[in-house]
Structure 1
Amino acid sequence: MLKTPTGTWLPAWVPQSTLTLSFLLMFCSIVQSATGGYDGSMLNGLNILVPYTSYFNLTPATTGLNTASVFIGSTFGTLVSGVMTDRLGRRPAIFWASVVTLIGIVIQTAAQNIAMFVIGRIILGVGSAISGVSSGVFLNETFPQRWRTWGAGMLNNFYYVGALIAAGVTLGTGQWQTTWAWRLPSLIQGIFSILCIVILPFVPESPRWLVHEGHYEYARASVAQTNSDGDLSDPVALAVYKEILDALEWEKKEGRTMSPKEIVRTPTARRRLLIGMSAGPFSCIAGNIIASYYLGAELTTAGISDTLDQLKANVVLNVWCLACALVGTQLVAGWGRKPTALTSEILLVICLFIIGGLSKMYADDPDNASASLVYGDVAVMFLFQGFYSIAWTPLLYLYPPEVFSVRIPGLPFIIQHRYSIRANGLAFTTLALNLLACVFVFIMPIGLDNIGWKMYMVNGSWDIVIAVLIAVFWVETKGKTLEEIDALFEGEKHSSVPDVEQVRKGQATLDVGAIEKQLQGNTEIVKYE
Structure 2
Amino acid sequence: MYQIGNIYGITAIAVIGGGLFGFDISSMSAILPTQQYRCYFNEGPSYADDPDGCSGPTANVQGGITAAMPGGSFCGALLSGYITDKLGRKTAIQIGSVIWCIGSIISCASQNIAMLIVGRFINGIAVGICSAQVPVYVSELAPPSKRGRVVGAQQWAITWGILILFYVSYGCTFLDGPQAWRVPWGIQMLPAVFLFFGLLLLPESPRWLARHDKWEECHAVLTLVHGKGDPNAPFVALELNEIKQMIEFERQNADVSIKELFHPKMLNRLHIGVFTQIWSQLTGMNVMMYYITYVFGMAGLSGNNNLIASSIQYVINVFMTVFALIFIDRWGRRWPLMIGALLMATWMFANAGLMASYGHAAPPGGLNNIAEQSWEIGGAPAKAVIACTYLFVASYAPTWGPVSWIYPPELFPLRVRGKAVAITTSSNWIFNFALSYFVPPAFVNIQWKVYLIFGVFCTAMAIHVFFCFPETSGKTLEDIEELFLVGVPAWKTHVDYQSTRRAEAGDLNDKEKALHHEKSPERVEDVPKA
Same fold (TM over 0.5): yes
Contact 1:170 1:311 in 2 (8 A): no
Q: How does 1:232-271 map to 2 (within 5 A)?
A: 232-253=231-252, 255-258=253-256, 260-266=258-264, 268-271=265-268
Contact 2:41 2:112 in 1 (8 A): yes
Given the two structures, how large is their TM-score scaled by the length of structure 1?
0.86
2-structure distance, mates of 1:188, 1:360: 41
Alignment partner, residue 376 of structure 1 = 384
Alignment partner, residue 65 of structure 2 = 66
Alignment partner, residue 337 of structure 2 = 341
1:200 aligns with 2:191: no
Q: How does 1:100-499 map to 2 (within 5 A)?
A: 100-253=99-252, 255-258=253-256, 260-266=258-264, 268-304=265-301, 306-364=302-360, 371-404=379-412, 406-407=413-414, 420-491=415-486
1-structure distance, mates of 2:305, 2:480: 48
Alignment partner, residue 87 of structure 1 = 86
2:420 partner amino acid: G
Deviations 1:408-427 (A, max 9, x none): xxxxxxxxxxxx32111111
1-structure distance, mates of 2:378, 2:192: 46
Alignment partner, residue 522 of structure 2 = none
Alpha carbons of structure 1 residues 423 and 259: separation in structure 2 relative to 1, 3 Å: closer
1:328: how far off?
Answer: 2.6
1:396: how far off?
Answer: 2.0
Alignment partner, residue 8 of structure 1 = none
Alpha carbons of structure 1 residues 489 and 61: separation in structure 2 relative to 1, 3 Å: same
1:29 aligns with 2:14: yes
Alignment partner, residue 45 of structure 2 = none
1:144: how far off?
Answer: 2.7
2-structure distance, mates of 1:484, 1:259: 22
1-structure distance, mates of 2:213, 2:510: 25
Deviations 1:409-447 (A, max 9, x none): xxxxxxxxxxx3211111111111111111110110110
1-structure distance, mates of 2:260, 2:197: 39
1:492: how far off?
Answer: 9.5
2-structure distance, mates of 1:160, 1:72: 21
2-structure distance, mates of 1:226, 1:379: 43
Give 5+ residue unaligned stretches, structure 2: 43-56, 364-375, 489-498, 512-530
State which drifts further: 359-368 or 256-265: 359-368
Q: How does 1:9-24 map to 2 (within 5 A)?
A: 13-15=2-4, 18=5, 21-24=6-9
1:132: how far off?
Answer: 1.4
2-structure distance, mates of 1:480, 1:369: 49
Contact 1:60 1:446 in 2 (8 A): yes
Alpha carbons of structure 1 residues 202 and 365: separation in structure 2 relative to 1, 3 Å: closer
Structure 2 residue corresponding to 1:55, chosen from 31, 40, 51: 40
Q: Percent identity?
A: 28
1:500: how far off?
Answer: 5.7
Deviations 1:471-514 (A, max 9, x none): 11000011111111112111299xxxxx8644235552479xxx
2-structure distance, mates of 1:198, 1:144: 25
Number of residue pairs aligned between Structure 1 and Structure 2: 475
Contact 2:257 2:416 in 1 (8 A): no
1:370: how far off?
Answer: 5.3
1:260: how far off?
Answer: 4.4
1:400 partner amino acid: P
Given the two structures, how large is their TM-score scaled by the length of structure 2?
0.86
Contact 2:73 2:125 in 1 (8 A): yes
Contact 2:17 2:195 in 1 (8 A): no
1-structure distance, mates of 2:465, 2:486: 21
Contact 2:347 2:389 in 1 (8 A): yes
1-structure distance, mates of 2:9, 2:279: 30
Contact 2:298 2:377 in 1 (8 A): no
1:180 partner amino acid: Q
2-structure distance, mates of 1:239, 1:96: 33
Alignment partner, residue 515 of structure 1 = none
1-structure distance, mates of 2:10, 2:279: 27
Give 5+ residue unaligned stretches, structure 1: 4-12, 408-419, 494-498, 512-529
